[in-house]
Amino acid sequence: MHRVVDLEHGVDILAANRKIASENRRLLEEHGVRGFDFLGSIGSGKTLIIEHLVEMLKEQGKKCGVVAGDVAGDDDYRRFSAHGIPVVNVNTGKECHLDAHLVDHALEKLPLADLDFVFIENVGNLVCPADFPLGTEKRVVVISVTEGDDMVRKHPLIFSQADVIVLNKIDLAEIVGVDPQVIVDDAKRIAPHVPVIFTSAKTGEGLDTLSRQLALL
């Protein structure tokens, strides 16, 4: 859970977060590292998409680090580590999202001087991370057709703040009876300037498009 106001220290948490996010941004820029944060519900495919991007960048000789955020456990940490890259696991306990302060500490543990990219995977949650920028260059919101066709209009804030929307598991759309165009139409209405990219992290479909959209390659 998160607090708008920290009683003990009497500070505005959202303003404090924005300040630390700016510092994170500057820290990454000083090291020539490009940062991207990935949001989305549990099981939307954030981890697998980042794993693909890491491998695509590795083939180009680029070095990536990852910050893996979860309420509990080290599942994603272990998956990322298997790619032979530096990873920091952040367990938020009862908090429903990462914040810039947690990311600040995670960045301290990464060898930024040796890296080209840092990917940050937020806690699986389509509501809470919205108000907490982390200091990255772009924010990617990942949704899956298996979540139905109404997730965009149910969560207008987070989509309007996205830089890129990824509609994943597109290969399952027919099986789950979801028309991707409904989701695209909602996104166009709520976040008209945000591109929607169809992907299947399982088959690899759309990941080239995503990497071009993020200007990774």
Q: Which of 151, 166, 167, 216 is the binder for a second copy (CB under 8 A)?
A: 151
211: phi then psi, degrees, rounded to nearest 5 = -65, -30
Stretch that binds a second copy, among 81-89, 105-113, 152-160, 209-217 (CB under 8 A): 152-160
Residue 186 Cα distances to 2, 7, 148, 163, 181, angstroms: 28, 38, 13, 16, 9
- The answer to the question of residue 185 lying near a second copy (CB under 8 A) is no
- The answer to the question of residue 18 lying near a second copy (CB under 8 A) is no
Q: Least distance in Å: CB of 117 to a second copy?
A: 24
- The answer to the question of residue 148 lying near a second copy (CB under 8 A) is yes
Q: Which of 22, 26, 73, 105 is the binder for a second copy (CB under 8 A)?
A: 73
Cβ nearer to a second copy, comparing 24 with 144:
144
Q: Which of 30, 108, 150, 179 is the binder for a second copy (CB under 8 A)?
A: 150
Q: Least distance in Å: CB of 164 to a second copy?
A: 19
Cβ nearer to a second copy, comparing 57 with 143:
143
Stretch that binds a second copy, among 20-28, 50-58, 102-110, 125-133 (CB under 8 A): 125-133
Q: Least distance in Å: CB of 115 to a second copy?
A: 26
Q: Least distance in Å: CB of 147 to a second copy?
A: 3
Cβ nearer to a second copy, comparing 11 with 217:
11
